[in-house]
Amino acid sequence: MNARSQAVQRADAQIEESRLRAVAARETQRPKPMSALESLAARLALDPQKLQDTLAKTAFASCTSYEEFMVCVMVANEYELNPLTKEIYAFPKRGGGVVPMVAYDGWIKIMNRHPQFDGIEYEHIEDETGEIKAVEGIIYRKDRTRPTKKMVYLDEFKMNTDPWKQKPRHMLDVRCTCQAVRLAFGITAGIEGVDDADGGEVRQTSTLVMPTFTGAIEQNASAQIIDQHNPQTGEVLPRDPRTGMTEVDEETARALDAGEGREDHQYGDQHDGTANNAADAPTLDQALEYLQAAPTIIDLNKRFDEVKGYFIDDAYAALSDERDGCAKRLRGGKA
């Protein structure tokens, strides 16, 4: 082999080495896909490890394994819910394990965030004495010519608990909303809601495949346990010796989702009529006029969020109807 051929071979080898180095450099610089926990942390603008530690002590504290914890994280990502504001949390299933439970606020968020959502109405059916018998939820979508309707009946859902005895209309509205949202927007698997668990049994959710998170805490790491108290007697609730969780029935949890018994400084304003200072509460007429003066739909929604926590039952329904009417007017009369 002459000198010219050897020089060509050396040049070719150098070119190949340079190409391989460039490929390796690109591979090392390519961003790695984020894990489910990292994605949730990025959406909430938090450090993944700190978020994990916080959720293990709060919304997902009922999880008994890291796999259950990650299922809840993935479901929160799927529906863009915030577990730190109790839009979704882990709820113990009878027989062991947990299920991702979407709170009432979570269903409201799923509904309002959907790009085709165009309003919701409620039709309350009463008996001859004026007592509530059923509620029909009517959801309008921009891409459909007919609304989606779902009827729920009091005798099929009412339970022997204080929330149902004191505010049957509100509780039935909550159940109606959850089921209507499921039906209108195709929410079929992976989550449970306050309308589920017929007869006190939580049904099994879809099986989810868990990714690996390199910064994960050990599966058996224990979170700090904070005593929970009976709100009526002040007694410390007994805990399951196996899981460390308090015995809270599912109906009580759903009542809390619906805003029953919450303190505003703990969970924020809800549709339970206890928002802010009662002395500053507007009358229904004042709230309706406040909505009517909104110059834009965005401003209308902000005003509705400001006043909705002061009203329940029929007053809240009237407020919601006024919001829908104002929105239609601001859209130029289009439904």
* Domain co-membership, 285 together with 191: no
Pair (125, 93) in one structural domain: no
Distance from chain centroid for Cα 34: 22
- Are 168 and 41 contained in the same domain? no
The Cα 25–Cα 19 span in angstroms is 10
Residue 212 lies in a domain: no
User: Do 70 and 158 fall into the same domain?
Assistant: no
Same domain for 76 and 131? no
Q: Residue 134 CB: number of other CB atoms within 10 A?
A: 18
Of 190, 224, 257, the one marking the end of a domain is: 257
- Indicate whether 3 belongs to any domain: no
If asked whether residues 61 and 125 sit together in one domain, one would say no
Dihedral over Cα of 110, 113, 116, 118: its sign:
positive
Q: Do 107 and 253 belong to one domain?
A: yes
Q: Examine the domain organization and report whether 130 and 194 are in the same domain.
A: yes
- Asked if residue 253 lies in contact with residue 103, where contact means CB atoms within 8 angstroms, the answer is no
| CA dist., res. 50 & res. 3, Å (int) | 64
Token output for 235: 């007694």
Q: Give the pLDDT confidence of 169-203 residue by residue, as tens digits.
A: 999 999 999 899 999 998 865 566 654 433 333 33
Q: How many domains does the chain have?
A: 3
Question: Beta-strand (E) ranges in 30-116?
Answer: 88-92, 98-102
Task: Return averaged pLDDT per consecutive 10 residues of the chain, 335 residues in all.
Answer: 70 78 70 83 91 90 89 91 91 84 90 94 92 94 94 90 88 91 82 49 37 40 41 51 47 52 40 47 85 84 81 77 84 66
Q: Do 108 and 73 belong together in one domain?
A: no
**pLDDT score of 41:** 92
Q: What is the pTM of this model?
A: 0.53
Q: What CA–CA distance (Å, rounded) separates 34 from 54?
A: 19
Range of the domain at 276: 272-335
Residue-level pLDDT at 116: 94
Task: Check residue 246 and report its DSSP letter.
Answer: B
User: Is 334 part of any domain?
Assistant: yes
Contacts 24+ apart (CB under 8 A), 318-325: 318/284, 318/288, 319/284, 319/287, 319/288, 319/291, 320/120, 320/121, 320/122, 321/121, 322/288, 322/291, 322/292, 323/291, 324/119, 324/120, 324/121
CA-nearest of 219, 225, 224, 256 to 239 is 225
Per-residue pLDDT at 237 = 54
Query: How do residues 42-94 score in pLDDT, each as one tens digit?
Result: 999 999 999 999 999 899 988 888 889 999 999 999 889 999 998 999 888 87
Distance CA 249, CA 255 (A): 10
The predicted pLDDT at position 194 comes to: 59
Q: Are residues 160 and 253 in the same domain?
A: yes
In a domain, 16, yes or no: no
- Let me know whether 46 and 172 are in one domain: no
Residues 144, 61 share a domain: no
